[in-house]
Structure 1
Amino acid sequence: MNRILLPALVSLLAMGCGKAAVRTQALAPEKPAPVVTEQKETVAKAEPEAAEEEQAPVEGRREVGDYVVYRFSGSFQKAPVTLTERVVGRDKNSLLIDFLLEEGKEKSELRVRLSDTAETRGEVLSVQRIEKGKLVAAGVDEYEALMGKTMVVADENEEALGSEHVVAVMGNDMLPAKRTSFRVKIGEKKATLTTVVSDKFPWGDLSGEIAAEDGSVIYRAEVLNVGHVVESKTGKEPQVARSDYEDE
């Protein structure tokens, strides 16, 4: 099964200017809808015709200053980690993104150039490590190792349990999305994987959680912040992404 890098949607308060919290609500709110208390979501099935219109593919584009902050938690690791991604440069065919992974007091920072062409979007073109404000040549393996700390891979996808159309509310924006559940296995443990995707969210899948049969959370990823910030540049040192999230 493909890697799971899925920011789970929860009801969050907006955190400062230019930052939007994310939550979901029913696409057809006039219909009764179950409440998913773990993710504080309210969802309901939409009329098929309306859903198809809302789900028409759109082209997302990330610009310099755009950023997203994820929080990853669950029993798959000892403590939550946060990952900040910020676009610091772009040209016609590629994006330059700073990745900042925070594990307690430890921080890992990479500057990665990714393809942004339709044929190879997301392909890693180059990797540099950021050490004390300086760029050091690095390999793709370092990027894969960093991202590996934010992922869980299901060993087996047994079946799809169903899907429904929802709306992801991000500040004043309402994104049409689709939520799908799967029965999976993590090792010998049976679990349910839930994903939320939207063509209008340029950072990737909107939501994901893996919950065991006893209700315990194996994996959860949350969008803490998403927005746009323009930072002034000083000197020749790289402008490094910074997370606004701090554990309480």
Structure 2
Amino acid sequence: MNRILLSALVSMLAVGCGKAAVQTHAAVAPENAAPAVVEPWASVDADKAPAKDADKPREVGDYVVYRFSGSFQKAPITLTERVVARDKDALVLDVVLDDGQKKHELRVRTSEAQATQGEILSVERIEKGNLVPMPAADYEALMAKTMLIADSNEAELGSEEVTVALGDAKIPAKQTSFRVKVGGRDATMRTVVSEKFPWGDVAGEIAADGDILYRAEIVTVGHQEAPAKPTTTPAVAESDYDDYE
């Protein structure tokens, strides 16, 4: 395991369907968001932390905000995903990646079919209210901003059961530690995953000599209905990270 982008996250980021019409709601920022208090480094009894609603399949209006930080980038990056439609065996999401200099707004369509679950079916940019097809290479380059790839994964150091608090829900998860090499430096990588969390992996971190090279974490997760009155632009999942600090 040498790719740290919350490994399941890239494959889950799919939206955009040729059949899906462009929704015409105003851009929506999550309001009254339930903060995600991620405390994955403290071992607890998972039996005391039932999964509640956090383990339900994603539905229209569900959203999540991730933050990627550490010395691998000059500034933190936020990534917001919001479910805007379901199309048979596909899930349609509006995605915003904010790298501190520009907000990249996308519509991604991902497979929900059992045999191909998580596979990206199409990606489009949202530009001035229009959907513009996005080459796969451009999409991969954009998502690479949220990754740090270790030079080598030398050993698994161990794993333990932990609990992650997401708003008023707590879910059982598994934390695993690895010894890795990054840029020639010895480092420790930790990941937190949960089968109860439908958005993908929960958290990840790479540290070397007290330096946090990379950290991936959930800022907030919740549900918000789209506005009742349509306007002229697609409904984009805004990532106003300042609201969650």
Asked if these proteins are the same fold (TM beyond 0.5), I'd say yes
The interval holding the TM-score normalised by the smaller chain is 0.7 to 0.9
Residue 58 of structure 2 is aligned to residue 62 of structure 1: yes
- Residue by residue over 1:87-136, the C-alpha shift from the partner in whole angstroms, topping out at 9 and shown as x without a partner, is 11112311111111112241111111111112111111111111122211
Map of 1:43 onto structure 2: 42
CA contact (8 A) 1:197 1:206 kept: yes
Unaligned runs of 5+ in 1: 8-14, 25-40
Is 1:215 the counterpart of 2:230? The answer is no
2:2–2:153 contact (8 Å) kept in structure 1: no
Cα distance change of structure 1 residues 124 and 16 upon mapping to structure 2, 3 Å threshold: closer
The SS at the match of 2:146 is coil
Q: Percent identity?
A: 57
Residue 80 of structure 1 and its aligned partner are, at CA, apart by 1.1
Is the contact between residue 198 and residue 206 of structure 1 (CA under 8 Å) also seen in structure 2? yes
Deviates more, 1:108-117 or 1:228-237: 228-237
One-letter amino acid of the structure 2 residue matched with residue 168 of structure 1? V
Distance in structure 1 (CA, Å) of the matches to 2:177 and 2:31: 33
Per the normalisation by structure 1, the TM-score is 0.80
Query: TM-score, normalized by length of structure 2?
Result: 0.81
CA distance in 1, matches of 2:132, 2:31: 32
Counterpart CA distance in 2 for 1:139 and 1:95 is 19
Matching of residue 174 in structure 1 with residue 170 in structure 2: yes
Match of 2:121 among 121, 125, 139: 125
Asked if 2 retains the 8 angstrom alpha-carbon contact of 1:46 and 1:164, the reply is: no
Between the aligned partners of 2:203 and 2:41, the Cα distance in structure 1 is 14
Partners of 1:239 and 1:227 in 2: CA distance: 16
Deviations 1:113-161 (A, max 9, x none): 1111121111111111111222112222222122111011112111111
Contact 2:43 2:163 in 1 (8 A): no
Which 10-residue stretch deviates more, 130-139 or 199-208?
130-139
What SS class does the counterpart of residue 165 from structure 1 fall into? strand
Structure 1 contact 70–225 (Cα < 8 Å) conserved: yes
CA distance in 2, matches of 1:2, 1:127: 25
Higher RCO, 1 vs 2 (CA within 8 Å, ≥6 residues apart):
2
Partner of 1:195: 191
CA RMSD of aligned residues (A): 2.6
Q: CA deviation at 1:186?
A: 1.1
Matched, 1:141 2:137: yes
Report if the CA contact (8 A) 1:72-1:220 is conserved.
yes
User: Separation in 1 of the partners of 2:171 and 2:242?
Assistant: 27
SS in 1 for 2:34: coil
d(CA) in 1 for partners of 2:205 and 2:196? 20
Mapped to 2, the partners of 1:17 and 1:75 lie a distance apart of 31
Say if 2:243 is the partner of 1:228.
no
Pairs within 5 Å for 1:7-46: 17-24=32-39, 43-44=42-43, 46=45
Structure with the higher helix share, 1 or 2 = 2
Alpha-carbon distance change, 175 to 182 in structure 1, aligned in 2, over 3 angstroms: same
Contact 1:127 1:137 in 2 (8 A): yes
Residue number in structure 2 paired with 1:109 = 105
Aligned residue pairs total 219
> For residues 130 and 74 of structure 2, what CA distance do their matches in structure 1 show?
30
Cα distance, 1:147–1:6 mapped onto 2, change above 3 Å: same
Q: CA deviation at 1:184?
A: 0.6
Measured after TM superposition, the shift of residue 206 of structure 1 is: 0.7
